[in-house]
Amino acid sequence: MTPGKPMEEVAIVGGGPAGSSAACLLARAGRPVLLMERSAESHHKVCGEFLSVEAQDYLAHLGIDLDRLGASAISSVRIICNRTIAEAALPFRARGLSRKSLDEALLNAAASSGARIERGATVRSIAPDRAGWSVDRSSGDQLQAHALFLATGKHDLRGGKRVTARTRDDMIGFKTHLALAPAQRSALDGAVEIVLFPGGYAGLQIVEGGIANLCLLVSRECFDGVGKRWDKLLEFICDSSSPMASRLDGAAPVTPRPLAIFGIPYGFIHTPLPSEPEGLFRLGDQLAVTPSFTGDGMSIALHSGFISASAFLRHGRESSIYHREIRSHVRAQIRIASLIHDAGRWPRGQQKLVTIFQTWPGVLRSVAALTRLRSGAIHRALVAP
């Protein structure tokens, strides 16, 4: 321990689903945990806000009551390309809930389990040292941690950058909340719609309060082509998809402007090197990034929270054991999802996909099942200490 620097047994950076779930479980096991979250208060995030059944299982285990939070229910999926619509029942009942509500509920659950939560606490950089990990905060102070859980989502930290070579990161993500016209809201209710358009895809579903989440991914090239303007992008998507044009007819924005994110390394899975220092646990998007259409990013984040906490309780700071285990849980689903993501970006691939899904709705159900975490891995995570 360095004199003057406080020493933590476990420090967690980032209070999204990954960091909060790990904090909750470690605190419940009686371990002292400090979680640092840079946002000072609840806020919106770029996300489709689709909660898969796996994510719901983890949330229930953490005591998050989705009914009380007003989450919508989603039981079918529609894939739309031009005028072709393929529809299938989902193999589970999904839920829709804004990240603003969900992430706050998770942070509250971690605090009531006994974790110390610091809001407005931004970590600037990390570095291994003799006692474990040294953490530099933007407030100018430092601390040391025996074990460090890195759960900063898409944001890389100096000293802990992800190696994202061989991933594709040329898409921009947007998210906004809309009040749809009543007839369009009823038509969307109970379904998630994925609209394929040249250069990307958009997802539309209802969240709490009957508000619609519109979240989309578009290539930089396409966004540049519409003059880098959100209103022009929406016009372009509606011109290429009349079902989308109908949905958005009469819609009013609920949030002042769309949120955007770029540089998302789809297909990334952390590969631990033999030289990697122990005591650094990567969680959520710092561990792996699955294509967004799967709606499985949050369940991977929660899964990593559960598996990392149980690995720490069993093996202490030997993070290499955790990384080997969790990599084997997510690798196959992310590979399959990445292949579909690539095919779904280009007009010819899009038309082929939707025709296959329309002809054989069972294929669409299988895709939904194959691009998510396996139930065996989840079952083991839920029964682990």
Ligand X SMILES: Cc1cc2nc3c(=O)[nH]c(=O)nc-3n(C[C@H](O)[C@H](O)[C@H](O)COP(=O)(O)OP(=O)(O)OC[C@H]3O[C@@H](n4cnc5c(N)ncnc54)[C@H](O)[C@@H]3O)c2cc1C
Binding site for ligand X (CB under 6 A): 13-19, 36-39, 45-50, 55, 122-123, 151-155, 157, 173, 215, 217, 261, 264, 284-285, 292, 295-299, 301
- ∠ CA 325-264-241, rounded to 5°: 120
- 10 versus 55: smaller Cβ distance to ligand X: 55
Give the Cα separation of 358 and 180 in Å (integer).
26
CB of 293 to ligand X, least distance (A): 8
The DSSP string of 267-330 is T-B----TTSPTTEEE-GGGTB---GGG--HHHHHHHHHHHHHHHHHHHTT-HHHHHHHHHHHH
Q: Are 350 and 85 in contact (CB under 8 A)?
A: no
91-106 as b/e: b if 16+ CB within 10 A? eeebbbbbbbbbbbbb
- 181 versus 272: smaller Cβ distance to ligand X: 272
- 60 versus 183: smaller Cβ distance to ligand X: 60
Closest CB to ligand X: residue number = 284
Q: Are 367 and 374 in contact (CB under 8 A)?
A: no
Half-sphere CA count of 208, side-chain side, radius 13 A = 14
- 157 versus 251: smaller Cβ distance to ligand X: 157
Structure token digits, residue 92: 């589970």
Give the Cα separation of 351 and 332 in Å (integer).
25
Q: Are 179 and 214 in contact (CB under 8 A)?
A: no
In one letter, which amino acid is 94?
A
Closest by alpha carbon to 102, among 297, 248, 383? 297
CB of 121 to ligand X, least distance (A): 6
- 180 versus 288: smaller Cβ distance to ligand X: 288
- 25 versus 217: smaller Cβ distance to ligand X: 217
Query: Within 10 Å of residue 165's Cβ, how many Cβ atoms?
Result: 7
- 293 versus 357: smaller Cβ distance to ligand X: 293
Q: Are 300 and 373 in contact (CB under 8 A)?
A: yes
Q: Are 269 and 330 in contact (CB under 8 A)?
A: yes
Contact partners, residue 286, CB within 8 Å, separation at least 6: 14, 18, 150, 151, 152, 153, 156, 160, 162, 270
Give the Cα separation of 335 and 332 in Å (integer).
5
What letter would DSSP give residue 206?
A: E
CB of 144 to ligand X, least distance (A): 16
- 11 versus 81: smaller Cβ distance to ligand X: 11
- 242 versus 331: smaller Cβ distance to ligand X: 331
- 19 versus 199: smaller Cβ distance to ligand X: 19
CB of 151 to ligand X, least distance (A): 5
CB of 160 to ligand X, least distance (A): 10
CB of 359 to ligand X, least distance (A): 26
Structure token digits, residue 56: 């719901």
